[in-house]
Structure 1
């Protein structure tokens, strides 16, 4: 099937619409970060940088470290941006832009999110490195795709029942990390967790400034959830979308989180920049080791 011009949107120079990239601009190993400024922080570890491109909040650097080609790209915040980035990265490796047809042989990317997050369990120390074993999405993104085959419906249902999830909100969904890729990053430095992906930073994460959240016990309800010996450990804004779309598209993904805040204890990292740099260094050491 040939993809129409309104479906596969290509810029006049032949690059993909939002990311402004050509297929040759990206490596098979992709590091995603939310903050555009963090792209340069990651690529500063590289031995060489061959590509530097940007459009809107999407900044991309591609280079090599210890002989391995890597791409780091900023997604911006939220699963709405993840929908753009994951679909366009996949298009770059699995669609022929000239014929506008999907390749018969599909390529799989390794996608590693390096991000910051807030813990909701009091026993998780600040600056901990946490890998999301599962992500529970509150954003509804996967409900727009034929995605039942890659979801974890029993976990999502257990969450909705235990936490009394309101019907007017999008139904929560749950997705697991890629086990094969995750094994590479496991060590005694890494804590496994269940990550909640929220569609906002304030009300959707139970914060109140001048607007009241609809529940005064939101964090407490999340913290009390339990499923097969697991509890919700942290909140952020991208992981469920990355896991869900990666599985649907045939890519491998893990989300690596640095705990900068603890909502249960009220603590915040004394040196968040250094903590994040340490996580970047850890991940690059695994990827290129």
Structure 2
């Protein structure tokens, strides 16, 4: 069996994976990802105990127990470039023997939950409520760097035509979440299901403008009227599509839960975004302990 080269799978002197600074025994099978490193402690403060913690750059990790369930929470930082690092290195921890540098014969599937903040783009997406991304709509282009057959090509073609998307922008893609994980959340009253759009930036790529003019000033309006399998694009953020696509390609289960702290349609921002996020954290943890 071919060994993975040192330059491709980089390890630290202690044998941990390069960016995350983790060894296989440091993580649980259920992973919570958050963007902000300060949010790691806002999750782990609810744990009954913390058995491991580390940090390297923006990647901060706590592993512990919540109501008897072993969980790991890790910060990814903002953006799909960091998600590419986090997802590949998490997979390496469970599916590659780091000593022999060979892929394991028996592969493991992780359960990966994103707890994040997001802006709603539909009138019915209420401030401080939660959106579950039934699918991730990626404008980031990450999926095209890997061989795959997971994107909904017919829907992607319809979207490109609907948006009249510039040929200079990355081709979008749509990847669905894990049905197994979605079943845990989709019937809750405070949860709205929809398509979560992932953009490569916060300002221009999400249709915001301060001093620079937008190439497509009607981007958000056109996006709100798009439908896929009867679902509308409910919100925009910067990580979900990459988590979904890499999880699906690597054989993991993923679900993105978003606290809506802004509504772009109404031009509103939450009066207490911290409380909205904490409510989502507690809501999600209580679900995960039953997984």
- Where does 1:32-181 land on structure 2 (aligned, <5 Å)? 32-148=33-149, 150-181=150-181
SS of the aligned residue for 1:4 comes to coil
- Work out the CA distance in 2 between the residues paired with 1:215 and 1:240: 22
Gaps in structure 1 of 5+ consecutive residues: none
- Where does 1:13-28 land on structure 2 (aligned, <5 Å)? 13-28=14-29
Q: Is contact 2:125-2:192 (8 Å) kept?
A: no
**How many residues get paired?**
288
SS of the aligned residue for 1:284 comes to helix
Q: Is contact 2:140-2:198 (8 Å) kept?
A: yes
- Work out the CA distance in 1 between the residues paired with 2:156 and 2:44: 37
Question: Which residue of 2 is the match for residue 235 of structure 1?
Answer: 236
- Work out the CA distance in 2 between the residues paired with 1:73 and 1:256: 15
SS of the aligned residue for 1:184 comes to coil
- Work out the CA distance in 1 between the residues paired with 2:228 and 2:184: 25
How far did residue 221 of structure 1 move?
Answer: 1.1
- Work out the CA distance in 1 between the residues paired with 2:209 and 2:185: 36
Q: Is contact 1:127-1:275 (8 Å) kept?
A: yes
How far did residue 189 of structure 1 move?
Answer: 2.3
Question: Which residue of 1 is the match for residue 287 of structure 2?
Answer: 286
Q: Is contact 1:10-1:16 (8 Å) kept?
A: yes
- Work out the CA distance in 2 between the residues paired with 1:147 and 1:189: 34
Q: Is contact 1:158-1:227 (8 Å) kept?
A: no
Gaps in structure 2 of 5+ consecutive residues: none
Question: Which residue of 1 is the match for residue 217 of structure 2?
Answer: 216
- Work out the CA distance in 2 between the residues paired with 1:173 and 1:94: 26
Scaled by the length of structure 1, what TM-score is found?
A: 0.98
